[in-house]
Structure 1
Amino acid sequence: MSSTKPTIVLVHGAIADGSSWSGVIERLQAKGYNVYAVQQPLSSLPDDIAKVNDALDWIPGPVVLVGHSFGGIVITNAGNHAKVKALVYVAAFAPDENQSAADLGKDYAPLASGKAFQFDKQGRFYLTEPDFLKYFAPDVEPKKARAMAAAQGAADGARFVWKSGPAAWKNKPSYFVVSENDQIIQHELEAFEAKKIKAVKTVSIPNASHAVLVSHPDPVTSLIVEAAEAVAKGH
């Protein structure tokens, strides 16, 4: 039985970057955890997964791997790395093998945000500032939400239909944060996924937007710490 604190590795989603974890990082560091926020290229999900796997190769283990939004697909795949001992999904996709984000959402009512995405000449998608504030981060203080919109990383449109590989959540203890007012991923889908992956614990946050890691960093941090403490105890 080990009492060593695991390292926390944070994986951002599309139209975001590692700075979206800032509030969570500060709280985890205050609790004595070593934390790394990976900056994925957002050029494709395989590229994002490779970037996280590269980081896991040099980051000291054991690791609690945390993913937001499309970062959930990344940790589902990169979570098979031997150093990863637990997964935390934050308002995220949690696919099974050979399943895509589009597959996950097909049984749920489409969200208005789906028609708001803009595409550049390379087929990468983004949100205009007004739509980012309206759909992605409506519960974030406007000044901060505008900064998030400015720093968003446009992501490849192909990630919506990319089929996931073997799901790490089948073999690693997993935890889930459900955002009850998510306008990017249906909150009903998030709740379903939490049950599907047999989450050790699910935290459902009322009125939370897709940017729950920014607007509600305390409960998100608490769940990550709970996962980390279980890993430290050898559970």
Structure 2
Amino acid sequence: MPNLKTLLISGAVALGAMTAQPGALLADVNNIVLVHGANIDGTTWRKVYDSLADDEYSVTVVQLPMTSVEDDIAAVRRIIGIQEGPMILVGHSYGGLVIGEAGDDPNVRGLVYVAAFQPDVGESTGALSASMPTGFTGDTIRIFEDGHYLVNEDAWLSFVANGLSDEEALFTARSQAASNLSIFAYESTTAAWNDKPSWSAIATDDGVIAPDLQRQMAERAGSTVVEIENGHMLPMTSPDEVADVIRQAASAVE
């Protein structure tokens, strides 16, 4: 039988090994799927991706086609389907609508909304925006004959990219990916947050989705709320804070 000293030494070694593990190895959920917003692409997640990957989370970034909400949901479901085990699903801005639809998959254990729409069944992002308007209105976009749109540069810099450096703001304005206008009218058919735990990172200086609207949506969903003092592009302006919210979610679910 081992003596007390041997047990204490063994326990100390085991504890030291455990405390030395990076965050992902102590979390119940290791897979993170990141979904970007409209008129941007997955590169907006790069700093959040790097932070989580450094902690050995398995992070995947979805690239949305933005041709329709249905196509975007399908793109997220493809990525969900190739994950091995449970995951946290994260959506920025319009991506919040998409994760609410795709998040009904049983392997999605929690949802994180980042300066995002969090619609209930039957709600559209257009109607939600109209309920608490910001300066980001219909006359700030240019609509093309095929139904896609881009945000006017001045409006992008003022309402979307506030908080970014001048150089980054201008680059994001001039590297927009056109989105289909139909995304504003789409009425949600599923709201996964009704059945799953959720977190909401609210951008207190958001010029696209009114901060009070973000708070209202998070409150009715029972989301865990973290307020971050910055503009709409939180994945780029406050990546460490956003990554911390995702870590909190990953450690809270099974």
Q: Confirm or deny a common fold (TM above 0.5).
A: yes
Look up the match of 2:196. Answer: 172
- What is the aligned counterpart of 1:205 among 207, 228, 234? 228
Look up the match of 1:26. Answer: 50
- Which moved further from structure 2: 144-153 or 61-70? 144-153
- Within-5 A mapping of 1:211-226: 211-226=233-248
1:132 aligns with 2:169: no
Give how far 1:128 is off.
Answer: 3.1
Question: Is contact 2:35-2:99 (8 Å) kept?
Answer: yes
Give how far 1:102 is off.
Answer: 2.0
- Which moved further from structure 2: 46-55 or 3-12? 3-12
Larger CA Rg, structure 1 vs 2: 2
Which blocks of at least 5 consecutive residues in structure 2 are unaligned? 1-25
- Within-5 A mapping of 1:83-232: 83-108=107-132, 110-114=133-137, 115-199=139-223, 201-206=224-229, 208-231=230-253
Question: Is contact 1:40-1:48 (8 Å) kept?
Answer: yes
TM-score if structure 1 supplies the norm length? 0.93
**Aligned CA distance change for structure 1 residues 213 and 166 (closer, same or farther; 3 Å):** same
Which blocks of at least 5 consecutive residues in structure 1 are unaligned? none
Look up the match of 1:52. Answer: 76
* Mapped partners of 2:27, 2:41: distance in 1: 32
Q: What RMSD over aligned residues (CA atoms) do the two structures have, in Å?
A: 1.4
Residue-by-residue CA offset, 1:5-26 (whole Å, 9 max, x unaligned): 4210000010110001011111
Give how far 1:4 is off.
Answer: 4.9
Question: Is contact 1:17-1:151 (8 Å) kept?
Answer: no
| % same residue | 35
**In structure 1, what residue type is equivalent to 2:252?**
A
TM-score if structure 2 supplies the norm length? 0.86
**Aligned CA distance change for structure 1 residues 173 and 137 (closer, same or farther; 3 Å):** same
Q: Which 4+ stretches in 1 moved above 3 angstroms?
A: 2-5
- What is the aligned counterpart of 2:60 among 26, 33, 36? 36
